[in-house]
Structure 1
């Protein structure tokens, strides 16, 4: 049976919370990106072993609107601006809106200078989360998941890679940048572990294989 506990883990107040309150405070050094999996492949393997393995649920009742995003982080600014600012370099702002900069997509190594050409990817896609336990959450918790800046859940990547990925898990889609596979697997596992989402057997096998490169 899948672990679908509605409990929430209380996390320490971090820079991301300050950003949400102020709307214009930098989350991290520009281009820093989300944190890498703590402890590397070893901890990721341990967390993977703790995930519930279950068949994927249905899409019945699913809508992206059930995962409210992007949350406001200031006047005319939202979580998308936060991620663009965090993941880019030479950022140009209008108030706290990101209007220019440079970004390198970790999924495929492509570079961009126009923020409109960059998508914000959910590491664990919303539809995948729905099929692995989020269908039993309320919309408030789904909103917390969709706007999670504390886990490695949100990334600025090329629009083409984001749309190629869709809602597929690592058994169905992997970044073309193979040097990123270890980190990708670790991030995927960390997000699912924190949010107590299940994995399919094929998904677990793919993640196990990707961690071998760590």
Structure 2
């Protein structure tokens, strides 16, 4: 048996500390999404009591030293290398929202498909803190995506403003699909199916404009 060097043992311990890659959760089918959408309750959004991000605990420890963010970065990237603290030091990612590729984990947000404030105003304000924490760290539903959802200044400096980059100029924020869908047209159907999947699982409401937008997009899938 070949003896392992001290350096190899350290490397082995680092590798073993990284989360096992998971498959990105798949949204329900178009047919099921239509059924789920019909079952969602339509209600006016309410921000009483007022939303506070602190009511959604981020990020949970998932495995070893790896938290939810680090687990998603590992899951959604390729050739991802992490250090002993589970921080991604290198890798390759392509944002599904705009098709932009990066090798820097710092370029990526872990986006909540259904934003935390949107969840709050559509029902999560009445949940326990434990349920809000589970929602904010949900790796089972298609709720967490490593993507670029904010303005990419470097990209805009080298690409003239057009229909796509104009969309990129607006942060997703807490917008629902009546106001925001990913600028990459080929991903819109997946995004809408994911939105409906999450809202249905958590029995969140939809407002009238949101319901109309979801209906339009899912019918076009």
Instruction: Please give the secondary structure, in 1, of the residue aligned with 2:171.
Output: helix
Query: What is the alpha-carbon distance in structure 1 between the residues aligned to residue 79 and residue 103 of structure 2?
Result: 9
Residue 180 of structure 1 corresponds to: 187
Task: Find the partner of 1:167 among 165, 168, 174.
Answer: 174
Instruction: Please give the secondary structure, in 2, of the residue aligned with 1:99.
Output: strand
Q: Deviations over 1:8-66 (max 9, x none)?
A: xxxxxxxxxxxxxx9633142xxx5x22223x211100000010000111153321110
Q: Shift of the alpha carbon at 1:159?
A: 4.7
Across the aligned residues of Structure 1 and Structure 2, the Cα RMSD in angstroms comes to 1.8
Q: Across the two proteins, how many residue pairs are aligned to each other? A: 188
Q: Shift of the alpha carbon at 1:81?
A: 0.3
Query: What is the alpha-carbon distance in structure 2 between the residues aligned to residue 105 and residue 70 of structure 1?
Result: 21
Gaps of 5+ in 2: 1-15, 152-167
Structure exhibiting the larger radius of gyration computed from Cα positions: 2
Residue 146 of structure 2 corresponds to: 156
Residue 67 of structure 2 corresponds to: 78
Q: Shift of the alpha carbon at 1:76?
A: 4.2
Change (3 A) 1:43 1:84: same
Query: What is the alpha-carbon distance in structure 2 between the residues aligned to residue 212 and residue 102 of structure 1?
Result: 34
1:25 equivalenced with 2:19 (yes/no): yes
1:106 equivalenced with 2:96 (yes/no): yes
Task: Find the partner of 1:57 among 23, 41, 46.
Answer: 46
TM-score (norm 1): 0.82
Q: Deviations over 1:59-89 (max 9, x none)?
A: 5332111000111234543100000000000
Residue 202 of structure 1 corresponds to: 209
Q: Shift of the alpha carbon at 1:158?
A: 1.0
Query: What is the alpha-carbon distance in structure 1 between the residues aligned to residue 123 and residue 88 of structure 2?
Result: 34
Residue 190 of structure 1 corresponds to: 197
Residue 13 of structure 1 corresponds to: none
- On the 8 A contact 1:119/1:159 being kept in 2, the answer is yes
Gaps of 5+ in 1: 1-21
Instruction: Please give the secondary structure, in 2, of the residue aligned with 1:164.
Output: coil
Task: Find the partner of 2:218 among 208, 211, 214.
Answer: 211
TM-score (norm 2): 0.80
Change (3 A) 1:165 1:59: farther
Task: Find the partner of 2:55 among 57, 66, 71.
Answer: 66
